[in-house]
Chains A and B, each alone.
Chain A
Amino acid sequence: MTDSDILVEVRDLKVHFPIKRGVIFDRTVGHVKAVDGVDLRIPRGKTYGLVGESGCGKSTLGRALLQLTPPTHGEVAFDGVELTTLPAGKLRSMRRRMQMIFQDPMSSLDPRQNVESILTEGLQTHGIGANRDERRKIISETLDKVGLPRWALSRYPHEFSGGQRQRIGIARALVLGPELIVADEPVSALDVSIQAQVVNLLDELQDSLGLTYLVIAHDLAVVRHISDTVGVMYLGALVEEAPSDRLYTEPLHPYTRALMSAVPVPDPDVEDRRERILLAGDLPSPANPPSGCRFHTRCPWAQPTRCADERPALREIGGSRVACHFAEQIASGELRPHKVEVQIVRPEDEGEAPGVVSAPSEPGSYV
């Protein structure tokens, strides 16, 4: 693969959110390491799927890639252009080439704009289409592509069903003719039967327009279905990256194995046969991640040596990249899983709006 085939290259990307406390003067007491050193490359015309549980930093990574959240550290090259150091004006015109699809189609559409105005906004911003008629033509073509009727133009978002709203969101991204689309949980807010429509639509659009996707989702089945390459994230870092089929047939990282075994399959025979790897406890706080391998506190294969004190780097094994010291030994069956003690994890506010919970922090004061 030559370098020109790579549309997006992310190097050592970090996004740390400060945790602030204080009444009058804010004091930084720590950092939530939402994304903590991610490298990935997305070839042109392909789909890269990012999967992980809530709080693993996958959404932040997607936003940081598009420079919607400023990265703390690292580089993002889009078609050879370094985005992190790009001046604001240049970045804005660059946005035409990289668009985003959001999880919640309702909240990502301005409730006071009708569909025409939603779709025109981007065109006007980038000066596409000389006049109203020309823009109307572009918009109508886009509506056809996403399967929305023409009468949608004068309607407002609340008048559509969830699936149709998501189509409006897709149309808003498509109307600018982008090369990269970052889709953050594009189907998780939709009903099952509608999910499939949107997944198929994304597939068709990629075929016909040659789009490059970064699909972010918590649903491994959806991600695997739609992606060429899948990256699995845990606590702000990639733990494994593999071609979609290989990830399923040969998961190397213990977390991938656990994740894979936890996804329910709508087939009783498969369900009865599979062996679940139940992880103990919850995701540790990204403000205070475990030392060494971030997964070692929950890993059924964790070893007394290395795991707790040496952070594994992504290394290539076969066609996959995996961040585990003992991936080969686990794959060969040399290492056996063992029982893991549950460690209590406190829910974190992830740096946003701390102190939402009004209940007393001292036990017993209300009793």
Chain B
Amino acid sequence: MSLLEVDDLSVTFARRGQRTVHAVDGVSFSVDAGEVVGLVGESGCGKSVTSLAIMGLLPKQPGLRVGGKAVFDGTDLLQLDDRSRRDIRGRDIAMIFQDPLSSLNPVVPIGLQVTEVLARHRGMKGDAAAKEAAALLDRVGIPDPKRRLKEYPHQLSGGMRQRALIAMAVACKPRLLIADEPTTALDVTIQAQILELLKELVRDSGTALVMITHDLGVVAGMCDTINVLYAGRVVETARRRPLFREPRHPYTVGLLGSVPRLDAGRGERLNPIPGSVRDVLPWPDGCAFAPRCSRRIDACVGEPPELVLAHDGRSYRCVNPAPLPGVEPGQEVRGAVPTEAQPGSVPAQAVPNDPPAVQGFGPAPREEEKP
């Protein structure tokens, strides 16, 4: 039984006179206790909306519809009323945002903001709360914590603010921590400090962590399981190593080919994904990534690709995935038969020698690049 089981989550925004936006479109993933799960994707892929929907933090507006299930420890978070959801939020599930300054109240001292959490969820008061708050700040590596308690958010640097925010998030020893781009606003050396801190927290307290980020490097160093999102759907799920070594979905392949690596030499051409995130096909009409995909085949259009379950617990949503070196096509266990496959014929995604739809395709998985 997973700690958090998100099943077929969908979020749509309908606005009068405008097209309905499917921000999240049937996202499923699960998080085990003590596990670090990554949600990776570019802007507009629905990764942040997913987390906000789970937390019930989406701004209430007419036309917003949240469907599916998000079961945390036996209770469906999406069915809870506001009150019990607030109880769970902060106590069992906590969240860290990208911009620490706007997540902190600018006119309330840090200390009071931390003790507030302690008072609400752990019933601590007065000196005990202050002591605990100082201990928390100390734990997240804020020097001289007793004095920091009296200071205001603007008196702290960006890294320290993020630490303060993490202190508030872990104040009640939550079982699940959701971090939405926690280091995007920070410098690399500060990012390294914060990531190290998050890793320590997870290791020491067994808190599960959902890491939402666009940075594949961050994911590579932290996450156990990674979900790659595109246009509101999970297009590939895999454990860390297999994902980076043998990405199957062409989008994952493209992302990996797009990132300049510190350990690659000067002048090595990158393999970008053509087009922009705007060039999407609506999911019901086929694979949203098809217009930008270099492995596009006829079967990509018409019906959305099903999630294919492969042998080692990984899955991808593609009818013509990148070939897996050393694995015979027949060995793969398919959870769903590609819709375009005819009985008796070879399923589309199992044909390793399919000619690429676009000439010049060749971003082989770049797994063996050593400095």
Contact = CB atoms under 8 A, between A and B. Distances in A.
Contacts of B336: none
Interface size grouping (class) on chain B: 35 or more
Contact of B264 (A225, A259, A344, A360): A225
B157 interface: yes
Contact of A248 (B158, B221, B263, B270): B263
A192 B269 contact: no
A192 B276 contact: no
Interface string B342-371: 000000000000000000000000010101
B188 A262 contact: yes
Interface stretch (B78-86, B143-151, B202-210, B296-304): B143-151
B335 interface: no
B220 interface: yes
A193 B188 contact: no
Interface stretch (B4-12, B53-61, B251-259): B251-259
A297 B331 CA distance: 57
B273 interface: yes
B241 interface: yes
Contact of B265 (A54, A245, A276, A342): A245
B332 interface: no
A259 B192 CA distance: 9
A200 B272 contact: yes
Contacts of B278: 161
B42 A366 contact: no
A265 interface: yes
Interface string A323-367: 000000000000000000111111100000000011110011011
Contact of B270 (A199, A264, A267, A358): A199
Nearest to B258: A196
B220 A266 contact: yes
B224 to A, nearest CB: 10
Given A199-B270, A264-B217, A278 B196 contact: yes
A193 B258 contact: yes
Contacts of B268: 225
Contact of B151 (A258, A363, A366): A363
Contacts of B254: 193
A57 to B, nearest CB: 14
Contact of B220 (A194, A199, A268, A342): A268
Given A192-B214, A203-B269, A359-B106, A276 B259 contact: no
Interface residues of A, number: 66
A193 B156 contact: no
Nearest to B270: A196
B260 A268 contact: no
A163 B44 CA distance: 14
Interface string A257-290: 0111111111111111000101101110000000
A219 B155 CA distance: 27
Contacts of A135: none
Interface centre among B155, B189, B258, B268 (most CB of A within 10 A): B189
B191 interface: yes
Contact of B107 (A264, A270, A281, A359): A359
B107 A366 contact: yes
Contact of A224 (B157, B188, B262): B262
A81 interface: no
A162 interface: yes
A66 interface: no
A192 B262 contact: no
Nearest to B197: A278
B98 interface: no
A264 B159 contact: no
B266 interface: yes
B193 A279 contact: yes
B290 interface: no
A267 B150 CA distance: 42
Contacts of A359: 106-107, 152-154
B188 A218 contact: yes
A267 B220 contact: yes
A222 interface: yes
Given A248-B371, A367-B109, A192 B263 contact: no
A197 B196 CA distance: 31
Nearest to B188: A262
A191 B188 contact: no
A244 interface: yes
Contacts of B244: 266-268
A344 B144 contact: yes
A260 B150 CA distance: 35
B86 to A, nearest CB: 24
B309 interface: no
Contact of B216 (A194, A199, A258, A266): A266
A164 B270 contact: no
Given A196-B271, A197-B272, A363 B255 contact: no
Contacts of B188: 53, 218-220, 259, 262-263
B292 to A, nearest CB: 8
Contact of A191 (B141, B151, B155, B214): B214
B112 interface: yes
B112 to A, nearest CB: 7
B215 interface: yes
Given A192-B255, A357-B154, A266 B107 contact: no
Interface string B172-208: 0000000000000001111111011000000000000
A135 B192 CA distance: 49
Closest 4 A/B residue pairs (Cβ) = A264-B217, A196-B272, A196-B258, A225-B260
23 contacts: A191-B43, A191-B277, A192-B42, A192-B215, A193-B277, A194-B276, A219-B260, A259-B189, A261-B192, A263-B217, A264-B218, A265-B261, A267-B244, A267-B261, A268-B240, A282-B158, A344-B143, A346-B155, A347-B154, A347-B157, A357-B154, A358-B106, A363-B151
Interface of B: 42-43, 106-109, 112, 141, 143-144, 150-160, 187-193, 195-196, 214-221, 240-241, 244, 254-274, 276-278, 367, 369, 371
Given A191-B276, A221-B259, A263-B262, 9 more contacts: A200-B269, A200-B270, A245-B265, A262-B189, A262-B192, A264-B217, A279-B193, A281-B143, A366-B108
Interface of A: 53-54, 161-164, 191-197, 199-200, 203, 218-222, 224-228, 244-245, 248-249, 258-272, 276, 278-279, 281-283, 341-347, 357-360, 363-364, 366-367
